[in-house]
Chain A
Amino acid sequence: NAGVTQTPKFQVLKTGQSMTLQCAQDMNHNSMYWYRQDPGMGLRLIYYSASEGTTDKGEVPNGYNVSRLNKREFSLRLESAAPSQTSVYFCASSDWGILNTDTQYFGPGTRLTVL
């Protein structure tokens, strides 16, 4: 049981390039999330998916798109990367609604640098 996995672990992009960050969970959770974490700051929600087939914007969605491919997988796409998107990206999953709690379990992160 690997929990939440993310690929790649590291990535360097040039301004204007595109890329997709991959996330998968094997806990059979309904809900998945993408966060970014900047130095000295907490986690900020980019997008989330309450269940397979649905996605919603979080606090900082501009410049990103997401796809909930199936129950296990939730990808984050940067169409035209900007230096302001240099950050560490975390994927998380939870079973919100089962116990009316939102304990989220996180992946190891993707460290992205945009030059």
Chain B
Amino acid sequence: GESVGLHLPTLSVQEGDNSIINCAYSNSASDYFIWYKQESGKGPQFIIDIRSNMDKRQGQRVTVLLNKTVKHLSLQIAATQPGDSAVYFCAENIGTSYGKLTFGQGTILTVHP
């Protein structure tokens, strides 16, 4: 089975709220993680990544947190906007396993104006 999964399949928020999307992974050897955003009818778009030697990484309005103790990854979106509505996927990679990105099922984020 897949080693990456999501706690919540859907998330609805109001515009301006902060959003938190969660992801669990089961492979303790995974050392690189990526969050992708996929809008309807489009391909996944890279948002942010993090290596296993980090706990937190920030981008523009997004923050990824990694808790290796409980094998948990989260994506925080600040001041969520309607344009953030999409499916969000986490993916993991074991550095020694070339080309072996494993994707979770995805969380649907809906932002209400």
On A, residues with C-beta under 8 Å from B are 4, 31, 33, 40-45, 48, 50, 56, 58, 90, 92, 96-97, 100-109
Contacts and interface: CB of A to CB of B under 8 A. Distances in A.
Contacts of A43: 44, 89, 103
B2 A58 contact: no
**Most chain B beta-carbon neighbours within 10 Å: one of A4, A43, A44, A92:** A43
Q: Which 5 A-B residue pairings sit nearest by Cβ, starting from the closest?
A: A106-B43, A42-B103, A48-B99, A43-B103, A106-B44
Given A43-B103, A101-B32, A102-B99, A108 B2 contact: no
B106 A56 contact: no
Contact of A108 (B43, B98, B103): B43
Contacts, number: 62
A90 B103 CA distance: 13
A101 B101 contact: no
Interface of B: 2, 4, 32, 34, 36, 41-46, 49, 51, 89, 93, 95, 98-101, 103-106
Nearest to A104: B101
A92 to B, nearest CB: 8
Given A96-B99, A102-B34, A102-B93, 17 more contacts: A41-B105, A42-B2, A42-B104, A42-B105, A45-B99, A45-B100, A50-B99, A56-B99, A90-B43, A100-B32, A101-B49, A102-B32, A102-B101, A106-B44, A108-B43, A109-B42, A109-B43
**Most chain A beta-carbon neighbours within 10 Å: one of B32, B41, B43, B46:** B43
Nearest to B95: A100
